[in-house]
């Protein structure tokens, strides 16, 4: 079974660099998908309150027989629950659905700048961290301006910012901001939901290594230092997306993928979503 490298976060804890995402997986299908992922060797699972499948994740975790301290579970606070007290209540609900007494990482799902509540929300996450109910706290979909504003009001730096990132949207400025502040970049939709897998630049690199396009894209992320959380409900793909640690892309291949950057957003604009 492949050994997944760990990334040390700015509070000293370690997170697997490769995890398993469950966005758009119905709750009743989630248990089977997460169980397949855990049997294949994934130990990090990324869910969110809004996905409606925290119970399905929890069932798979409970039946896996894997020790809690070998698992890394992330969930996220939904936009409508932003605010200090509402965050604490929403966190309790997530933990109850997951059937856990703590999570490893709790994220603010979107900044929703028009609500102007992410700093109050962050204070609630700081309390959850201090109380040991989550081992780390972070954000998702924050642009540099949102991060800057948050950093001005707190001494607790988010451990990660989970953002849309793939060869069509490489987030160079944001990644530089993260590097300056000790924030790990976590890539959501790392495969652009499949949109780039037929690109000739990627298929030709894949053919050269005897690998699939998805493996090439995920390997590119790992070599950039990103945490990745590909999603699949297909057992063969779940295993394929884990087989990334016995080949490497050359500097020329990395450069060829860098050239695919074109501002391709598949999800919402974080400045506009509320």
Name the residues that contact ligand NDP, by CB under 6 A: 21-23, 46, 109, 140-141, 162, 188-194, 197, 212, 214, 229-234, 237, 240-241, 267
Identity of the residue, 198 or 259, whose beta carbon is nearer to ligand NDP in the bound complex: 198
Q: DSSP labels for 189-218?
A: STTGGGTTTT-HHHHHHHHHHT--HHHHHH
Identity of the residue, 123 or 239, whose beta carbon is nearer to ligand NDP in the bound complex: 239
Q: Is 105 helix (H, G, I), strand (E, B) or coil?
A: strand
Residue 106 known to be catalytic: no
Q: How far is CA 248 from CA 203, 204, 219, in A?
A: 15, 15, 7
Identity of the residue, 216 or 252, whose beta carbon is nearer to ligand NDP in the bound complex: 216
Identity of the residue, 95 or 191, whose beta carbon is nearer to ligand NDP in the bound complex: 191
Q: For the CB of residue 223, give the shortest distance to ligand NDP in the complex, in Å.
A: 17
Q: At what angle do helices 213-224 and 200-209 cross, to 10 degrees?
A: 90
Distance CA 214, CA 186 (A): 17
Determine which one of 42, 51, 106, 118 is catalytic: 51
Q: Cβ contacts of residue 145 below 8 Å, gap of 6+?
A: none
Q: For the CB of residue 76, give the shortest distance to ligand NDP in the complex, in Å.
A: 6
Q: For the CB of residue 103, give the shortest distance to ligand NDP in the complex, in Å.
A: 14
Active site residues: 51
């Amino acid at each position: 079974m492949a050994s997944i490298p760990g990334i040390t976060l700015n509070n000293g804890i370690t997170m697997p660099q490769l995890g398993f995402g469950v966005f758009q997986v119905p709750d009743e299908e989630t248990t089977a998908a997460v169980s397949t992922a855990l049997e294949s060797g994934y130990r990090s699972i990324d869910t969110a309150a809004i996905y409606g499948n925290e119970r399905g994740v929890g069932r798979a975790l409970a039946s896996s027989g894997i020790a809690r301290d070998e698992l890394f579970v992330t969930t996220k606070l939904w936009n409508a629950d932003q605010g200090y007290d509402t965050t604490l209540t929403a966190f309790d609900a997530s933990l109850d659905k997951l059937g856990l007494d703590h999570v490893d990482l709790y994220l603010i799902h979107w900044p929703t700048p028009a609500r102007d509540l992410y700093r109050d929300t962050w204070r609630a996450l700081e309390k959850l961290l201090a109380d040991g109910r989550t081992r780390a706290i972070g954000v998702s979909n924050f642009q540099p301006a949102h991060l800057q504003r948050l950093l001005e009001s707190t001494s607790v730096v988010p451990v990660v910012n989970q953002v849309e990132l793939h060869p069509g949207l490489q987030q160079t400025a944001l990644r530089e901001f993260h590097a300056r502040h000790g924030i790990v970049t976590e890539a959501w939709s790392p495969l652009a939901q499949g949109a780039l897998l037929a690109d000739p630049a990627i298929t030709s690199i894949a053919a050269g290594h005897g690998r699939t396009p998805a493996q090439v894209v995920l390997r590119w992320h790992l070599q950039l230092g990103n945490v990745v959380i590909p999603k699949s409900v297909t057992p063969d793909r779940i295993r394929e997306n884990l087989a990334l640690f016995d080949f490497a892309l050359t500097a020329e291949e990395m450069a060829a993928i860098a050239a695919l950057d074109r501002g391709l957003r598949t999800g919402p604009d974080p400045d506009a979503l509320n």
